[in-house]
Chains A and B, each alone.
Chain A
Amino acid sequence: MAVFSLFDAEEKALEQARALRRSLADAPEAVRDGLDTLIGAYDSSVREQRRLVKVSDRLQGQLASLNQELGKRKAEAEEALANLRAAQDSLIQSEKLASLGALVGGVAHEINTPVGVALSCASHLADATDAMRKLFEADDIGIDDFERYMATARDTSALIVGNCERAAALIRSFKQVAVDRTSSERRSFELGSYIRETLASLGPHIRQAGHRVTVDCPDGIVMDSYPGALSQVLSNFVMNSLVHGFDPGTGGAIVITVDRPTSGQVRMIYSDNGKGIAPGNRSRIFDPFFTTRRGAGGSGLGLHIVYNLVTGPLEGGVAVDSPPGGGASFTVTLPQAVSQ
């Protein structure tokens, strides 16, 4: 079999030209020289062609292996991204578990105090009652004994009632933290009127203290969502403004503004002109049990509930802002219709 040559035709042509030149040994010098020049030029041109083919083969080879490398890198990067996403998901899961753990631990801790106080009051009352019964059986109750017992019974039962109420309130708010979609009904409602209704139900708290509330919401935004969750969110904001934002005796202002940044999305900005939230606390206010009023009635669950409701059943997001003019401000973004 003949050896394959890319430049077979050129070599043959060159061979023929050389044979022709040999047969022209007797031709005039000008013809011979001219032919020599042509043959030389053709020879050199073919050699250049060989080199150029080699150069371009080499370049294309480099390009191909670069492309291959690129494809490999791309696949690697995509895999790394997928791994990262998976890691992120499992991180979110364990974060959720950790926050559930913190929540349960916190609830136990919070409830322990009122229950402990109620328990020791109850046993104190039981002891006093026992002593009273002995005196009664011996028919030896003096008026002093009776008055002292009455004072003890009044004080301890007041403490028992107060602390049991505190424990019950904590359990109620804990149940709200754990609220799920099924606990509240999904339906259509007009957003502006619903906000105003919720505020009206909070009216007594607000009006008594002389605060002003302004709602700026376009008419006709019909939501398909969980109104109960939304009103819980609003009341927690309002209660916080009253408790943390406004000094007693000074009238504050609350403004609720609603707009639609994109179709299908609503944005509700809640702000008050109160004392505002210290920058160092902003990242923690949504954590369960974070409160600046521990021991003075705060359990630190209000905004955690807000966060769970907004990101859970309401399928939106909530963020705290720091308005330049002071006060506190929260931005809640919600889909107009939830998916579940």
Chain B
Amino acid sequence: MAMENFKIAATERSPEVNFDFDGCRLSLRGESYPEDASTVFGPLFSALERFLATIGEREFVVEFDLTYFNSSSAKALMNMLKLLDHAARDGARISVSWLFAPDDDTMKEFGEDFSEDLEHVAFNLVAVEPAA
């Protein structure tokens, strides 16, 4: 049974989420400070859990390209990273990229901090010039 792709357009306070099940890719782009983190991350978590159950041998590429997030989003991101790390521990092939603008020290440091406890996923910090 093929799963539907999962896509949420960005709003002023929430990131664009692009979950391509067939392509085995997930990306979060933009800013994240929703009033209620569960409306953004709730559906994403259940999609992620369903997907991880079916992943098999394929490599799963996850990309975080965020420029700003609030504390609840930070907690949700850590939960997500933990979920991915556990899946990798259980045998999934997962690589996570954390993108930041070269002049954004804050996002770079958050990427370093958030990856501290990751043991099983391949984690890359990537400096990218923001698209004009």
Contacts and interface: CB of A to CB of B under 8 A. Distances in A.
Contacts of B70: 59
Interface string A48-75: 1001101110110010000000000000
B71 A59 contact: yes
A213 B110 CA distance: 83
Given A54-B113, A55-B110, A48 B71 contact: no
A53 to B, nearest CB: 9
Contacts of A47: 116-117
A62 B106 CA distance: 10
A99 interface: no
B106 A51 contact: no
B106 A58 contact: yes
Interface residues of B, number: 13
Contacts of A93: none
A44 interface: yes
Interface string B48-61: 00000000000000
A48 B78 contact: yes
Contacts of A52: 71, 74-75
A47 B78 CA distance: 11
Interface in B38-95: 69-71, 74-75, 78, 82
A65 to B, nearest CB: 12
- Looking at A47, A54, A55, A62, the one whose CB has the most chain B CB atoms below 10 A away is A55
Nearest to B110: A55
A204 to B, nearest CB: 74
Contacts of B114: 51
Interface string B96-113: 000000000010001001
A207 B75 CA distance: 91
B52 to A, nearest CB: 19
Contacts of B75: 48, 52
A59 B107 CA distance: 11
B48 to A, nearest CB: 19
Contacts of B82: 44
A44 B113 contact: no
Contacts of A54: 113
Contacts of B113: 51, 54
Given A48-B78, A51-B78, A56 B117 contact: no
Contacts of A48: 75, 78
A33 to B, nearest CB: 16
Contacts of A55: 69, 71, 74, 110
A47 B116 CA distance: 9
Nearest to A47: B117
B106 A44 contact: no
Interface in A87-126: none
Contacts of B106: 58, 62
11 contacts: A44-B82, A47-B117, A51-B78, A51-B113, A55-B69, A55-B74, A56-B71, A58-B110, A59-B70, A59-B71, A62-B106
Given A55-B74, A56-B71, A59-B71, 20 more contacts: A44-B117, A47-B116, A47-B117, A48-B75, A48-B78, A51-B74, A51-B78, A51-B110, A51-B113, A51-B114, A52-B71, A52-B74, A52-B75, A55-B69, A55-B71, A55-B110, A58-B106, A58-B110, A59-B70, A62-B106
